[in-house]
Structure 1
Amino acid sequence: MPQSDPSTSTRARHAEPAKEAGAPEPAGNRDAFFDNAKYLAIVLVAVGHAWEPLRDDSKVVTALYTTVYAFHMPAFIIISGYFSRSFDAAPRRIQRLVTGVALPYVIFEVAYTLFTRWSDQAPDRPISLLEPLYLTWFLAALFIWRLTTPLWRIVRWPLPLALGVAMLATMSSGIGEDLDLQRALQFLPYFVLGLCLKPEHFELVRHRAVRVLAVPVLVSAFAVAYWSRPYMSPAWFYHRDSAEEIGAPALAGPVMTLAVFGCSTVLVVCFLALVPRRRMWFTALGAGTLYGYLLHGFVVQGVKPFHVYDYVHGPLGVAAVSVVAAVVVTLLCTSAVRRVFRFAVEPRMAWFFEAAAGRRTTTAPSPQRRVGVE
């Protein structure tokens, strides 16, 4: 990576057409900032899941959990949206969508169902591709979001429209669990926000004033989460349920949608402001965050039958669980693990698309026209 002018090199890389998340990219072309952000976000996801069984015993852990959940998935989704800007439903991008999102969804949905039959002692749990289990909801949602990307790229007011969809979703208690559509619709504005962002927007968080304010804002968010626990359900930040399912009037849904979106977006800005811009020891792990995300769920589920949380007590126990979760998800993002599980997370399926690829080759446009498409 050139060292003469980091900000200039970052803008130059951003200026190129964005590549959708999951697409292979030479290491030299990757932006350290985004890889750092993805790695740190996935660590927070894993630590949040490790805190989940401890919430009932500690108001501090509950407040930490709520604060982290207010921005870690929104940050991940915004970045996914930003790198989906180039999705145009061309055949090669549909192929990537199938191999990088749809097929891993099927594989991990089946794998999680079989695994949780043991971990949850539910031998009769059926395999259902329509009801995402545990972490697979993100793949189902990403498939929907990316398929609709061309629409969001041509409408006049994409973000207000996406917020309107999310607001209506919170008022609809009958959406059901098919493809976890409630969560896909409520998280949609963050993906659309990512689609709307430009490189210069990410440059804004580099300003010293933003970095200075980031820490006190995050601390204030924790304080509010701690204080408001008896008065407000943290379920608003999970985006899994409608307003009535949370226990609030249906008309509270649209109001809370806007409030939560504003709060989460501010916290995402604070998070991104604290993300290092230079290459770090963990930068290369940012390319494997989907592996860490999908695989760490087996660890979380796998410890259930052993009741390990019965031995976790006090601040030291919480700290130990946090460190173990961070270490585990870090190892799952390494290149060695990625090589082993690439067949499931990034299946090639060249045999499946070979005929279509051959037809495109025989009818390929002239090189001059291809340049415009690529």
Structure 2
Amino acid sequence: MIVDKEDKTATNTFMLNTKFLLILFVVIANCIEPLVQQNAALHVLYLGIYTFHIPMFVMVTGYFSRNFKLDVSGIQSLQLIFYHYLIFQSLYSLLDALAFHAPSVRYSFFIPYSLLWFLFSHFCWRLLLLLFSKMKHPLGISIILGLLVGYAPFSGTMLSFSRTIVFFPFFLAGYYLQWDRILKTIFRMNKYVSAMLLLSILFLLHVMLLDPKWLYSSFTYIELASIHWYTGGYRLGIYLLEIVASCCFLRFVPRTPSLLTEWGKHTVYVFLLHALITKTAISMGLFTYVHTAVQIALVLLLAPAMTWLLLQGWVRRLCKPLIEPNLTFWKRWITDKHQI
């Protein structure tokens, strides 16, 4: 039993380290996105990051949802997710209308703004978990649904419908798989081989000229201009690519407790706030001045600097009333109801 507790602690540490590195790659991807059309190397790097950072973030989210039940604690977690979506969907939409003016933005509470799709989907994943946990083969069924949802005759962005279903298998993988055993297998992988596989994936992405929309998973097959009966096989190939890239990435995640572990506990601050900085920079036209290798390198260095800044204690204290408010009225309401 002691060994099990030690394994669980080690796995939790690993997942928190993973969580921090993933939010770092989220920031890097968003920082280089305005530059990918003018630089082939950044374009390949951007695609490479997308092969693992969303699937793994969903997986880690599933892992940390293992204690979810529709009890007081579970309702409060859903309430906080919904609160984040409500506040930041409103905030980002307002800022976009007044300042950012991002192209092709449709202002609707039911169409998540930019990266806020993750909040909407996370809310849905937890509710879907209540249904799929009663099934015999939930992971297999979720993969089949991920392939079939692409044939939907409507837009995949509405209610984050496509991404919710397509990435749901990774959420279930995080929830169900025995990660102590899986990580032991991953740690036995040769780092050199893992690095070579990642480089091979980057080369493959460069040769294939893969449309990033396939990695976003927010579009139906009609929206991807691929409406053949066998198109679901393409998404199955994307699943396999994401699994291989994710396993290779996990091989380089530190296993021991460190400052990364502590930062991994507070990634919600980076997730919700970093776009305020990147979208302000885009709206001010700052990225139009980035051309040389030195300037690109500076952008790549500013991404981890921004991540570090948003994880500082004074930033968390300043923003805590907005990001981690005291939402206890549900608990009081349920307590009062039981007392009646």
Alignment TM-score > 0.5, same fold:
yes
Alignment-mate amino acid for residue 52 of structure 2? F
Per-residue CA deviation, residues 13-72 of structure 1 (Å, 9 max, x unaligned), is 37xxxxxxxxxxxxxxx9331221111100101100111111111111111100101100
How far did 1:175 drift? 4.2
* Corresponding residue for residue 318 of structure 2: 340
* Corresponding residue for residue 372 of structure 1: none
Question: Residues 27 and 307 of structure 2 are in contact (CA less than 8 Å); yes or no, is this contact kept in structure 1?
Answer: yes
Candidates 40, 64, 69, aligned match of 1:59: 40
Per-residue CA deviation, residues 81-123 of structure 1 (Å, 9 max, x unaligned), is 1121221212321122112x0111100001101111133348x
For the residues of structure 2 that align with 1:354 and 1:272, how far apart are their CA atoms? 41
Question: Residues 37 and 275 of structure 1 are in contact (CA less than 8 Å); yes or no, is this contact kept in structure 2?
Answer: yes
Candidates 72, 75, 81, aligned match of 1:91: 72
Candidates 145, 149, 155, aligned match of 2:129: 149
Query: SS in structure 2 opposite 1:282?
Result: helix
* Corresponding residue for residue 285 of structure 1: 263
How far did 1:348 drift? 1.9
* Corresponding residue for residue 139 of structure 1: 119
Query: SS in structure 1 opposite 2:231?
Result: helix
For the residues of structure 2 that align with 1:248 and 1:316, how far apart are their CA atoms? 39
> Taking structure 1 as reference, are residues 266 and 201 closer, same or farther at Cα in structure 2, changes over 3 Å only?
farther
How far did 1:205 drift? 4.4
> Taking structure 1 as reference, are residues 82 and 282 closer, same or farther at Cα in structure 2, changes over 3 Å only?
closer
Per-residue CA deviation, residues 218-246 of structure 1 (Å, 9 max, x unaligned), is 111111111111xx322111101011211
* Corresponding residue for residue 194 of structure 2: 214
For the residues of structure 2 that align with 1:264 and 1:68, how far apart are their CA atoms? 10
Alignment-mate amino acid for residue 96 of structure 1? S
Per-residue CA deviation, residues 171-224 of structure 1 (Å, 9 max, x unaligned), is 114145332212211111211221221133443345332434221111111111
Matched ranges for 1:111-126 at <5 A: 111-121=91-101
* Corresponding residue for residue 49 of structure 1: 30
Alignment-mate amino acid for residue 18 of structure 2? A
For the residues of structure 1 that align with 2:274 and 2:319, how far apart are their CA atoms? 13
* Corresponding residue for residue 300 of structure 1: 278
For the residues of structure 2 that align with 1:340 and 1:357, how far apart are their CA atoms? 31
Runs of at least 5 residues in structure 2 that lack an aligned partner in the other structure: none
For the residues of structure 2 that align with 1:117 and 1:12, how far apart are their CA atoms? 46
For the residues of structure 2 that align with 1:207 and 1:352, how far apart are their CA atoms? 43
Are 1:159 and 2:130 an aligned pair? no
Query: SS in structure 1 opposite 2:222?
Result: helix
Alignment-mate amino acid for residue 300 of structure 2? S
Are 1:191 and 2:187 an aligned pair? no
For the residues of structure 2 that align with 1:262 and 1:271, how far apart are their CA atoms? 14
For the residues of structure 1 that align with 2:203 and 2:98, how far apart are their CA atoms? 39
Per-residue CA deviation, residues 265-287 of structure 1 (Å, 9 max, x unaligned), is 11111111110011233321111
How far did 1:292 drift? 0.4
For the residues of structure 2 that align with 1:303 and 1:95, how far apart are their CA atoms? 35
For the residues of structure 1 that align with 2:329 and 2:208, how far apart are their CA atoms? 55
Question: Residues 11 and 199 of structure 1 are in contact (CA less than 8 Å); yes or no, is this contact kept in structure 2?
Answer: no
CA RMSD in angstroms comes to 2.3
What TM-score, normalized to structure 1? 0.84
Are 1:275 and 2:253 an aligned pair? yes
* Corresponding residue for residue 103 of structure 1: 83
Higher relative contact order, structure no. (Cα contacts within 8 Å, ≥ 6 residues apart) = 2
* Corresponding residue for residue 11 of structure 1: 7
Alignment-mate amino acid for residue 334 of structure 1? Q
* Corresponding residue for residue 223 of structure 1: 203
Question: Residues 69 and 237 of structure 1 are in contact (CA less than 8 Å); yes or no, is this contact kept in structure 2?
Answer: yes
Query: SS in structure 2 opposite 1:244?
Result: coil
Single out whichever of 202-211 and 319-328 deviates more from structure 2.
Answer: 202-211
* Corresponding residue for residue 27 of structure 1: none
Runs of at least 5 residues in structure 1 that lack an aligned partner in the other structure: 15-29, 364-374
The sequence identity of aligned pairs, in percent, is 26
Question: Residues 85 and 120 of structure 2 are in contact (CA less than 8 Å); yes or no, is this contact kept in structure 1?
Answer: yes
For the residues of structure 2 that align with 1:211 and 1:301, how far apart are their CA atoms? 36
Alignment-mate amino acid for residue 68 of structure 1? I
> Taking structure 1 as reference, are residues 134 and 12 closer, same or farther at Cα in structure 2, changes over 3 Å only?
closer
* Corresponding residue for residue 33 of structure 1: 14
For the residues of structure 1 that align with 2:322 and 2:138, how far apart are their CA atoms? 33
Question: Residues 293 and 329 of structure 1 are in contact (CA less than 8 Å); yes or no, is this contact kept in structure 2?
Answer: no
Are 1:319 and 2:292 an aligned pair? no
Are 1:72 and 2:68 an aligned pair? no
For the residues of structure 2 that align with 1:356 and 1:260, how far apart are their CA atoms? 44
* Corresponding residue for residue 357 of structure 1: 335
